[in-house]
Amino acid sequence: MSKAMTSNRETKKETAMTDLSVGIIGCGWLGSALAYHLKELGVAVLATRSNIGNTEELNSQGIKAEVLSLPADQALLNTHAIFNQQCIVIAITPQFRQGRVDYADKVQQLVESAKVSKRVEQIILLSSSAVYNGLSGHVEEASILDMSADKVALLNQAEQAVLDFNSHAQEVSNLPNDLNISVKNNKAYVLRLAGLVGPKRHPGKFLINRRLLKSPQAVVNLIHQQDAVGLIETLLQSELGGGIFNGVSSTQVTKKQYYQAAASALQLPRPIFEENELSSISDPKIVSGKKTQAMLTYSFVYDDLLTWLEHAD
């Protein structure tokens, strides 16, 4: 392909991006990075947080934001300005560690509002590679999940609710032509993100309290914030009809190797692992990024997160 053709294609993509409006629901650490990036590209962004203090902070930094607290009254939620955007990125956290079990219900509510919206055409759910908990060896998007864990079942339920946004478009398109209904070209994506690292999230900082670490022979499955943002941007521009994609770097080292390198990078003492966890894992879980690499035209900035450790702060 000639340089002229490549340049023309890139120009068309940039133009297509500026024509988009994107709503980011749950604009926290990752969502904020996405919002700033999209704003730099000239994309119209509306963000939401669950309280006024956080929305005021975003507004003061040039990101238009409004309060959206979940769960909510469905009829009232349907009227929220976030559903006037073409693309919705659901970046709310499950809060499992806080004992919350309503994550899937919240996502379902958002999808229902998107369905009745005349504007929303695309939903991207930022899910988690924790959906593979209980599995071992190489896991991929088509792997059969272990639903015996409540966390996995709830993550899967949320993912299926989003993927149903595609089937909703199909149901509408099957209505009689004489109803004169304008059919949206709905697309729904699930991005299963591995453990997130990046600015203010150097893995070595987790070692400062010197707590004992578990599973030294487990393989780390991680992704840098910048690459997570890059993958989301790629999905926003994708012509694929939807689907599930893993967001994970190619870094495949043991937890012991990685945290030793992280400690060394910050000149901290080497981490200590629990004695009863020192036995090797015969088949550690490795999240595969092959489908993402094959179907999405995205090149990782931080594919080697061991090298990143040496220069991160």
Q: Concatenated DSSP letters for 203-234?
A: GGGGGTT-PPB--TTSBP-EEEHHHHHHHHHH
Looking at residue 5, its amino acid is: M
Mean local confidence (pLDDT), 24-41: 97
Mean local confidence (pLDDT), 107-133: 97
User: What does the alpha-carbon distance between residue 313 and residue 311 come to, in Å, rounded to a whole number?
Assistant: 7
Strand partners, 243: 189
Omega before 94 within 30 of 0, i.e. cis: no
pLDDT at 6 over 50: no
For position 89, what pLDDT does the model report? 98
Mean local confidence (pLDDT), 107-122: 96
CB of 309 closer than 8 Å to CB of 204: yes
Task: Report residue 16's pLDDT band, with 50, 70 and 90 as the boundaries.
Answer: low
SS3 (DSSP) at 186: coil
CB of 29 closer than 8 Å to CB of 201: yes
Strand partners, 244: 190
For position 31, what pLDDT does the model report? 97
User: What does the alpha-carbon distance between residue 307 and residue 92 come to, in Å, rounded to a whole number?
Assistant: 30
Stated length of the chain: 313
For position 201, what pLDDT does the model report? 87
User: What does the alpha-carbon distance between residue 237 and residue 270 come to, in Å, rounded to a whole number?
Assistant: 43
User: What does the alpha-carbon distance between residue 22 and residue 16 come to, in Å, rounded to a whole number?
Assistant: 12
Longest Cα separation, the chain: 72
SS3 (DSSP) at 101: coil
- Tens of pLDDT, residue by residue over 35-82, are 999 999 999 999 999 999 999 999 999 999 999 999 999 999 999 999
For position 211, what pLDDT does the model report? 66
For position 175, what pLDDT does the model report? 46
Mean local confidence (pLDDT), 170-183: 46
* Residue 243 in tokens: 């689907």
Mean local confidence (pLDDT), 81-102: 95
Mean local confidence (pLDDT), 8-23: 68
Query: How does DSSP classify residue 85?
Result: S
215: Cβ contacts below 8 Å, ≥ 6 apart? 255, 277, 281
- Tens of pLDDT, residue by residue over 208-245, are 666 667 888 889 999 999 999 999 999 999 999 899 99
* Residue 217 in tokens: 């022979």
User: What does the alpha-carbon distance between residue 263 and residue 265 come to, in Å, rounded to a whole number?
Assistant: 5
CB of 63 closer than 8 Å to CB of 28: no
User: What does the alpha-carbon distance between residue 51 and residue 246 come to, in Å, rounded to a whole number?
Assistant: 30
* Residue 187 in tokens: 């697309």
User: What does the alpha-carbon distance between residue 31 and residue 24 come to, in Å, rounded to a whole number?
Assistant: 7
For position 267, what pLDDT does the model report? 85
- Tens of pLDDT, residue by residue over 124-167, are 999 999 999 999 999 999 999 999 988 999 999 999 999 999 86
For position 63, what pLDDT does the model report? 96
For position 2, what pLDDT does the model report? 47
Mean pLDDT rounded to a whole number for the chain? 87
Tokens 């879980």 belong to 285
- Tens of pLDDT, residue by residue over 252-310, are 999 889 988 988 888 888 888 876 654 555 688 999 999 999 999 899 999 999 999 88
User: What does the alpha-carbon distance between residue 192 and residue 46 come to, in Å, rounded to a whole number?
Assistant: 23
